[in-house]
């Protein structure tokens, strides 16, 4: 019997697949942001079937879309491309703002999303 046993190789592949499936959502949240606190509605688990686009605002007011730093105009262009998708395929836009972020910065993002026709926009918070 000179056959090659592939069972250990398949076990290794499945283990790596599981590791990458678990670690991928964690990699999306690389921008360090101290979220504001909320007493109700916070801490609910996210739907794993739904796609999300995360917009972060740091303490200096710098905008980050996923892992890429963007300007407000570039963010509007990204919102336009998301709005061009069929509504069932549009991801939810989650805004993560530093706790000390001014309301105007948040309103600029919401205004940009609304002007492009996006309706699935929310704010991330932490539990108090």
Residue extents of the structural domains in the chain = 28-127
pLDDT confidence of residue 58:
83
56 strand-pairing partners: 64, 96
State pLDDT tens for residues 114-124: 888 888 888 87
State pLDDT tens for residues 13-58: 999 999 888 877 766 656 666 666 666 655 555 556 778 888 888 8
Q: How far apart are CA 23 and CA 20, in angstroms?
A: 5
**Overall pTM surpassing 0.85 (yes/no):** no
Structure tokens belonging to residue 57:
């605002």
Q: Find how far residue 78's CA is from the centre of its chain.
A: 13
């Amino acid at each position: 019997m000179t056959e090659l046993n592939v069972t250990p190789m398949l076990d290794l592949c499945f283990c790596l697949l599981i590791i990458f499936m678990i670690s991928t959502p964690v990699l999306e949240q690389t921008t360090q942001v101290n979220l504001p606190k909320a007493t109700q509605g916070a801490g609910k688990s996210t739907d794993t079937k739904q796609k999300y686009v995360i917009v972060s605002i740091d303490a200096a007011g710098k905008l980050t879309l996923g892992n890429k730093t963007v300007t407000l105009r570039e963010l509007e262009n990204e919102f336009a491309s998301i709005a061009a998708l069929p509504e069932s395929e549009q991801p939810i836009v989650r805004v993560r703002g530093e706790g000390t972020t001014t309301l105007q910065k948040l309103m600029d993002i919401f205004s940009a999303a609304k002007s492009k026709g996006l309706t699935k926009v929310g704010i991330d918070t932490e539990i108090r």
